[in-house]
């Protein structure tokens, strides 16, 4: 399962038309210790670019945007009790939501891992 990235540092993997979304390791490094995560409600319909979640860290509050359009079918309820999962495993246990995608074409303008690495290296 390949991983894709946005310029806003969200990641997405797709399995059977369902996209799992979170933030990259780079993003959580920039945020510092995550102290609160607000995930969307199950059943919410998102357009690509809509606010998906809100993250608060010791440094800042930040929005997470939906890299794909669709319906939220599952959220990571563990983040409510343990927001630090984002720091511990940003691209694993720290995922935010699963979205049943409306259009697989939404993935076309996202970066692969190599392109994202190059993109983040240009930011420092």
From CA 18, how far away is CA 73, in angstroms rounded? 8
Where do the domains of the chain lie, and which CATH numbers do they carry?
Answer: 3-103 (2.40.50.100)
41 phi/psi in degrees, rounded to 5: -80, 140
Q: Tens place of pLDDT for every residue, the chain, 124 residues?
A: 689 999 999 999 999 999 999 999 999 999 999 999 999 999 999 999 999 999 999 999 999 999 999 999 999 999 999 999 999 999 999 999 999 999 999 999 999 999 999 999 999 7
Rounded to whole angstroms, the Cα distance separating 99 from 66 reads 9
Q: What is the pLDDT of residue 1?
A: 63
* CA pair distance 29, 123, nearest whole angstrom: 13
Count of CA atoms in the C-beta half-sphere (13 A) of 23? 28
């Amino acid at each position: 399962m390949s991983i894709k990235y946005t310029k806003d540092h969200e990641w997405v993997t797709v399995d059977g038309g369902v996209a799992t979304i979170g933030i990259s390791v780079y993003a959580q490094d920039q945020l510092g210790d995550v102290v609160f995560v607000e995930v969307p409600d199950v059943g919410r319909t998102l357009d690509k670019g809509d606010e998906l979640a809100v993250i608060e860290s010791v440094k800042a509050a930040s929005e997470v945007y939906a890299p794909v359009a669709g319906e939220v079918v599952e959220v990571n309820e563990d983040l409510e009790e343990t927001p630090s999962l984002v720091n511990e495993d940003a691209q694993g246990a720290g995922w935010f939501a699963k979205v049943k995608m409306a259009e697989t074409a939404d993935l076309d303008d996202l970066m692969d891992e190599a392109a994202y690495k190059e993109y983040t290296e240009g930011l420092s």
